[in-house]
């Protein structure tokens, strides 16, 4: 069975009160439309057709990809009219309609829906609602067969009592679509070409409308304003929290845990409150993450301890290493097994070998640091001369005294020591002591200046 997917994303979204097109507003760090496209791709369709209108150019720029075809709908004349714009590109046996502002739809639900479609059967996704106000209502005959969808504004009092609502998500046999959409009219309460009128046409043509129900109403919930956007965000985060807990993670508070990307977690991981995981994050077994940590595109190997308020971006923390509180590891940084980085230490493109340590207040940029080497408090690499970046290379078992300035490019070989307060501008051979500071003088009989009293 071949599949074309049409995603409606042309609407304005006035209630967002935003310069950004509605479908580009993010849920969990990814635009709503991005979520829908992501789910659509999992179904391996032959085509994904995105109907755009308001903010069309911005949407195309932000989400353009080879496997997407964008179709313009310059005037929003209704959902039926929107799908009709995509018709020239639709050639598959089955056409599935999705919505750019309904981001949490799950592929498992869509698969169940698609399984119902045959050349003479449609699949309609419905939802049972406590308050169906605003939704199209599913009208069934005495035998329970679907006969039509009636929009809220066109519905009679008896029809408004129906609690089964139309989600809008629909899968239809492709060959029929051109005929049905061509016969739509806009003689209704809203003066729009309703996609939903296709249902009654299909029934009149002798097709059966089979329904599937969204188990979780949030899956089919759209966002029209920022409050609904926040509700979707919270729901998404709750779902992620359940997923990681099921995988063996203790979350100190699942309501204060945010995932904005794809994460892989091991067992017996503990995550304290207010931790944000973004991009591609891998957390192996027995990792402990303290409160208020931000972790982006990083790997935390088995047994890592990341203490409170640390910030990781593009970092790899080796087995049993620890960092923080208040550590900042920037792209290209790595800690070898059991290496240690303490408070107010910033690493950028710096690699610490096994058991190396930088306990306090340091900036290590463009540096290679050998196993067991110790960096004293207050040490910085002077890696930038105002034009180019240079590397600092420290061998194994080096001891850098406190408050050193390591002026790159510079090499300090294995076992060397530098005196506290040194400015190191020359390479240091193995096992030697480098002293790079002015010698101290004590001046006997020196008097402090006295305050001049003005007349
Ligand atoms: C639609 C359904 C209704 C269903 C409800 C679920 C129709 C006629 N009605 O109503 O049965 O219960 O969704 O939320 O389909 N869009 C376009 N171009 C257009 C019109 C709409 O791209 O010309 C897009 C909108 O951006 C939006 C989606 O289609 O994402 C739904 O349109 P909207 O006008 O909000 O439909 P509803 O009135 O909510
Ligand atoms: Ca709507």
* Domains of the chain, start order: 3-220 (3.90.550.10), 226-434 (2.160.10.10)
Q: Which tokens go with 84?
A: 């009709």
What is the C-alpha to C-alpha distance for residues 123 and 112, in angstroms, rounded to an integer? 9
Average pLDDT over residues 387-393: 97
Residue whose CA is closest, atom 36 of ligand 1? Answer: 79
- Determine which helix (DSSP H) or strand (DSSP E) holds 56, and give its type and residue range: helix 56-63
Q: Is 340 a catalytic residue?
A: no
Closest ligand to Cα 99: 1
Rounded-to-10 torsion of CA 390, 391, 392, 397: 180
Strands 30-31 and 26-27 come out as: antiparallel
Cβ of residue 401 lying under 6 Å from some atom of ligand 1: no
pLDDT, tens digit, 9 for 90 and up, residues 15-41: 999 999 999 999 999 999 999 999 999
Q: Does residue 8 line the site of ligand 1, with CB under 6 A?
A: yes
**Proportion of the chain above pLDDT 70, given as a percent:** 100
Is a pLDDT exceeding 90 seen at residue 401?
yes
- pLDDT at position 274: 98
Q: What is the pTM of this model?
A: 0.92
Asked if the model's pLDDT at residue 1 lies above 90, the reply is no
The ligand with the least distance to the CA atom of 52 is 1
pLDDT in tens, 284-323: 999 999 999 999 999 999 999 999 999 999 999 999 999 9
Residue 242 has pLDDT above 90, yes or no: yes
Question: What's the mean pLDDT in 346-351?
Answer: 98
Question: What's CA 77's distance to the chain center, in Å?
Answer: 33
87-115 residue pLDDT tens: 999 999 999 999 999 999 999 999 999 99
Give the pLDDT mean for 229-247: 97
Question: Residue 300: what pLDDT?
Answer: 98
| CA–CA distance, 264 with 267 (Å, rounded to integer) | 10
User: Residues 173-219: pLDDT tens digits?
Assistant: 999 999 999 999 999 999 999 999 999 999 999 999 999 998 889 99
Per residue in 324-333, pLDDT tens?
Answer: 999 999 999 9
């Amino acid at each position: 069975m071949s599949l074309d997917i049409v995603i409606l994303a042309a609407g304005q979204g006035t209630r967002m009160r935003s310069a950004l097109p509605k479908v580009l507003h993010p849920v969990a760090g990814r635009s709503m439309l991005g979520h829908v496209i992501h789910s659509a791709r999992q179904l391996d369709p032959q085509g994904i057709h995105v109907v755009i209108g308001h903010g069309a150019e911005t949407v195309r720029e932000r989400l353009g990809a080879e496997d997407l075809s964008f179709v313009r709908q310059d005037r929003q004349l209704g959902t039926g009219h929107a799908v009709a714009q995509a018709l020239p590109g639709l050639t598959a046996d089955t056409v599935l309609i999705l919505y750019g502002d309904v981001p949490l739809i799950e592929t498992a639900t869509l698969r169940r829906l698609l399984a119902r479609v045959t050349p003479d059967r449609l699949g309609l996704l419905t939802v049972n609602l406590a308050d169906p106000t605003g939704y199209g209502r599913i009208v069934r005959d005495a035998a329970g067969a679907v006969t039509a969808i009636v929009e809220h504004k066109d519905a009679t009092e008896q029809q408004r009592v129906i609690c089964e609502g139309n989600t809008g998500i629909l899968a239809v046999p492709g060959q029929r679509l051109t005929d049905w959409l061509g016969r739509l009219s806009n003689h209704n309460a809203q003066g729009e070409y309703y996609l939903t009128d296709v249902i009654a046409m299909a029934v009149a043509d002798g097709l059966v409308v089979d329904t599937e129900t969204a188990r979780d109403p949030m899956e089919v919930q759209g966002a029209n304003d920022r409050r609904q956007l926040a509700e979707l965000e919270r729901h998404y985060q709750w779902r992620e929290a359940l997923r990681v807990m099921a995988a063996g993670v203790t979350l100190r508070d699942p309501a204060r845990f945010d995932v904005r990307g794809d994460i892989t977690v091991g067992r017996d991981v503990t995550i304290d409150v207010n931790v944000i995981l973004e991009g591609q994050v891998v957390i192996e077994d027995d990792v402990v993450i303290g409160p208020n940590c931000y972790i982006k595109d990083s790997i935390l190997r088995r047994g890592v301890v990341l203490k409170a308020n640390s910030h990781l971006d593009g970092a790899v923390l080796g087995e049993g290493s620890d960092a923080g509180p208040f550590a900042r590891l920037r792209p290209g940084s790595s800690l070898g097994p059991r290496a240690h980085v303490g408070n107010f230490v910033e690493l950028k493109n710096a690699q610490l070998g096994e058991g190396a340590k930088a306990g306090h207040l340091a900036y290590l940029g463009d540096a290679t640091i050998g196993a067991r080497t110790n960096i004293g408090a207050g040490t910085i690499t002077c890696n930038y001369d105002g034009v180019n970046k240079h590397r600092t290379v420290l061998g194994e078992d080096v001891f850098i005294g406190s408050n050193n300035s390591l002026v790159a490019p510079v090499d300090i070989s294995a076992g060397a020591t530098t005196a506290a307060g040194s400015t190191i501008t020359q390479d240091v051979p193995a096992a030697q002591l480098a002293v790079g500071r002015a010698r101290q003088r004590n001046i006997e009989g020196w008097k402090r200046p006295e305050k001049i009293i003005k007349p």
